[in-house]
């Protein structure tokens, strides 16, 4: 899994600035192009009608200010790699702007923090992050604990990939293996078994080993009985993972039990999460 075009939404928040090292890290590792995107939903902003003269002047000034702020952000954080970095200002809601831009421009990774506010899935994670994770098809890297982002010079030592023991997990396992190879890091699979499960651990392990072979990886497999979110996040904390990898379904697909817990795993993960 080599990332060639990273989309980094910029809202000038402290959390946004805190993940800059992680964005620069992956940009450097994969020699990727980065697009900084700031979105401005102008409809009704400031209580002015954008179709009226006063409103037009207000919005024109607002757009100019945001363009200057975005240029300043780029200069402050990406000056040494300016040839690899573009900046875009979109007039739309953040989630719609991100999803549309990612689809139009072949983005293969979105990197964003989660703020954890707003009415949309607010109990789980930030509204924009939740909607982007749900509505886009490309991988999304996000982290709740932005203040603890690893030193960009410190390698990803261990990736933990949470899997269902379903055929749909093969593609997730394969892509996790590709990423571990690119990072030169270790990889482990983790699987949660329901308390009332009827199959033995040996049966589940055998199935996961077959899925791993289909995904072209041979790695340690951790199987634990318990609730999915707790098993995955505990395994990441216990093993000292630097990144949790999750598969996620789309609304038009049948979702496995793991995929139905994506948002809560993101919220409780001790390290960044990559959903693919």
Q: pLDDT digit string (tens) for 7-48?
A: 999 989 888 898 999 999 999 999 999 999 998 876 655 555
- Same domain membership, residue 113 and residue 34: yes
Distances (CA, A) of 236 to 94, 124, 150, 231: 30, 19, 15, 9
The model's pLDDT over 266-276, given as tens digits with 9 standing for 90+, comes to 889 999 999 98
Helix (H) or strand (E) holding 45: none
Residue 145 class from Cβ within 10 Å (0-12 exposed, 13-18 middle, 19+ buried)? middle
Within a domain: residue 214? yes
- Same domain membership, residue 219 and residue 121: no
Tokens of 20: 């800059």
- Same domain membership, residue 184 and residue 129: no
15 against 81, higher pLDDT: 15
Tokens of 73: 């952000």
Helix (H) or strand (E) holding 233: helix 228-239
Within a domain: residue 185? yes
d(CA 194, CA 227): 7
Q: Which residues pair with 191 in a beta bridge?
A: 223
**CA end-to-end span of the chain:** 10
Which pLDDT value is given to residue 195?
77
Which pLDDT value is given to residue 51?
53
- Same domain membership, residue 128 and residue 14: yes
* Structure-token match 């980065």, residue found: 34
Binned at pLDDT 50, 70 and 90, residue 252 comes out as very low
Within a domain: residue 118? yes
- Same domain membership, residue 202 and residue 102: no
Whole-model pTM: value is 0.85
Within a domain: residue 215? yes
d(CA 186, CA 239): 11
Rg over CA atoms, the chain: 20
Within a domain: residue 270? yes
- pLDDT higher than threshold 70 for residue 236: yes
Within a domain: residue 131? yes
d(CA 38, CA 164): 36
Within a domain: residue 12? yes
- Same domain membership, residue 47 and residue 128: yes
Number of Cβ atoms within 10 Å of the Cβ of 163: 26
- Same domain membership, residue 100 and residue 19: yes
* Structure-token match 């702007």, residue found: 97
- Same domain membership, residue 126 and residue 13: yes
In the chain, count H helices and then E strands. 9, 10
CATH of the domain at 269: 3.40.50.620
d(CA 69, CA 17): 13
Out of 146, 178, 206, pick the residue that ends a domain: 146
d(CA 2, CA 105): 16
- Same domain membership, residue 221 and residue 140: no
Out of 94, 116, 146, pick the residue that ends a domain: 146
Which pLDDT value is given to residue 48?
53
Cβ contact 99:130 at 8 Å:
no
Listed range (100-104, 212-216, 264-268) with the worst mean pLDDT: 264-268
Tally the domains of the chain: 2
| 186-193 and 109-113 strand pairing | unpaired
Percent of the chain at pLDDT > 70 equals 80
- Same domain membership, residue 111 and residue 164: no
Please give the residue range of the domain that contains residue 135.
5-146
Chain mean pLDDT for the chain: 83
Within a domain: residue 152? no
Nearest in space to 15 (alpha carbons), one of 131, 156, 126, 135: 126
Listed range (25-39, 165-179, 192-206, 226-240) with the worst mean pLDDT: 192-206
- pLDDT higher than threshold 90 for residue 262: no
Cβ contact 272:244 at 8 Å:
yes
Out of 146, 170, 189, pick the residue that ends a domain: 146
Rounded mean pLDDT of 48-74?
Answer: 75
- Same domain membership, residue 185 and residue 56: no
Tokens of 222: 């951790």
Tokens of 161: 């990939």
- Same domain membership, residue 186 and residue 142: no
């Amino acid at each position: 899994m080599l990332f060639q075009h990273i989309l980094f939404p910029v809202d000038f928040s402290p959390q946004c600035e805190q993940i800059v090292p992680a964005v620069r890290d992956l940009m450097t590792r994969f020699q990727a192009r980065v697009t900084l995107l700031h979105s401005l939903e102008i409809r009704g902003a400031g209580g002015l009608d954008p179709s009226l003269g006063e409103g037009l002047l207000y919005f024109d000034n607002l757009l100019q200010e945001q363009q200057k702020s975005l240029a300043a952000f780029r200069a402050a954080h990406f000056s040494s790699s300016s040839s690899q970095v573009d900046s875009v200002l979109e007039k739309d809601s953040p989630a719609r702007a991100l999803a549309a831009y990612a689809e139009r421009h072949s983005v293969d990774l979105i990197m964003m923090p989660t703020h954890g506010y707003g009415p949309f899935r607010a109990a789980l994670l930030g509204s924009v992050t939740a909607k982007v994770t749900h509505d886009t098809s490309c991988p999304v890297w996000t982290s709740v604990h932005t203040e603890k982002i690893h030193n960009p010079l410190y390698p990803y030592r261990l990736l933990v990939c949470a899997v269902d023991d379903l055929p749909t997990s093969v593609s997730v396992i394969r892509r996790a293996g590709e990423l571990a190879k690119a990072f030169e890091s270790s990889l482990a699979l983790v699987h949660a078994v329901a308390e009332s499960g009827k199959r033995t651990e040996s049966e589940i392990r055998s199935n996961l080993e077959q899925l791993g072979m289909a995904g072209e990886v041979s790695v340690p497999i951790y199987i634990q009985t318990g609730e999915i979110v707790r098993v995955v996040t505990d395994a990441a904390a216990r093993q000292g993972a630097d990144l949790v990898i999750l598969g996620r379904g789309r609304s038009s697909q049948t979702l496995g039990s793991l995929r139905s817990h994506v948002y809560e795993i993101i919220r409780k993960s001790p390290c960044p999460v990559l959903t693919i």
